[in-house]
């Protein structure tokens, strides 16, 4: 299969490197000074001549898409499969621009750029059964893939996994700041906080135990961890904060999608 990558930024480039040796990779990105090894530059979309089946991965910023959507219509007319990783553009919006219903909308997150992400995908009405396996394979270099039954769930996905990395970064900042206020140097506090979060994330991914069990393994009755967790759980503070964060992000996602 030929893969046409529209936009070769950090995430698009990560995918292109994962496709090397498996697919013929064509890249359209006038702003990219260098392409991943093995990729072929396309200077004009009208020049795209696939050797066989074609999948088009839309990896540009959503505000750029309207300027190129019309140019992609002839490619869509060839029955190409389109996979969008653009935020905020619905299946209806993609179809209106491309004139094609063979569309898949996805929501990745930033760890996808290093192969450690998770992407939620939802299929348009004209997607074939074989397309699901194709999309899974195309997105494999970015990490895990989950499929949604309803496009309306994308807003919740955006709030949980799309924006989620920033929540973890922000909490790490807060933990480091608290460590400094408790007497550590700022550098040591940040080193401890960052290593703790990355190590805990790696442990959660490597261990099949439930998160509650992993938490309990660290928590001795009446110990220091229990004292800290009690502050988080007082009056359901951590649950109420998480709900408010997700609700706000999901609401903003709906607003941006129009």
| Closest to 108 in 3D by CA, of 123, 94, 120, 93 | 120
Cβ(85)–Cβ(103) below 8 Å: no
Rounded to an integer, what distance in angstroms lies between the CA atom of residue 148 and that of residue 121? 6
Positions at the binding site? 6-11, 59-62
Cβ(84)–Cβ(58) below 8 Å: yes
Positions at the binding site for NADP(+)? 6-11, 59-62
How would you classify the pairing of strands 117-123 and 24-28? Answer: unpaired
Rounded to an integer, what distance in angstroms lies between the CA atom of residue 15 and that of residue 57? 10
Cβ(155)–Cβ(254) below 8 Å: yes
β partners of residue 84: 58, 105
Integer angstrom CA distances of residue 236 from 178, 230, 245: 21, 10, 14
């Amino acid at each position: 299969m030929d893969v046409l990558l529209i936009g070769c930024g950090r995430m698009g480039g990560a995918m292109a490197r994962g496709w090397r040796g498996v697919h013929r990779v064509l890249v359209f990105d006038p702003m990219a000074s260098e392409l991943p090894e093995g990729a072929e530059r396309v200077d004009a979309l009208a020049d795209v001549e696939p050797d066989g089946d074609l999948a088009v991965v839309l990896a540009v910023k959503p505000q750029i898409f309207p300027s190129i959507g019309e140019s992609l219509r002839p490619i869509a007319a060839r029955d190409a499969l389109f996979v969008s990783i653009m935020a905020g553009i619905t299946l209806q919006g993609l179809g209106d621009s491309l004139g094609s219903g063979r569309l898949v909308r996805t929501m990745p997150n930033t760890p996808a750029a290093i192969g450690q992400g998770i992407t939620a995908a939802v299929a348009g009405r004209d997607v074939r059964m074989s397309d699901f396996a194709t999309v899974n394979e195309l997105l494999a270099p970015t990490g895990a893939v989950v499929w949604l039954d309803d496009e309306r769930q994308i807003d919740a996905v955006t709030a949980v996994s799309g924006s989620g990395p920033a929540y973890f970064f922000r909490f790490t900042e807060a933990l480091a700041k608290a460590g400094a206020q408790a007497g550590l140097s700022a550098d040591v506090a940040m080193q401890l906080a960052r290593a703790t979060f990355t190590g805990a994330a790696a442990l959660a991914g490597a261990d099949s135990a439930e998160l509650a069990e992993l938490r309990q393994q660290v928590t001795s009755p009446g110990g220091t961890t229990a004292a800290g967790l009690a502050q988080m759980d007082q009056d359901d503070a951590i649950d109420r904060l998480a709900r408010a964060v997700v609700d706000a992000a999901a609401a903003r996602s709906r607003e941006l999608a129009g």
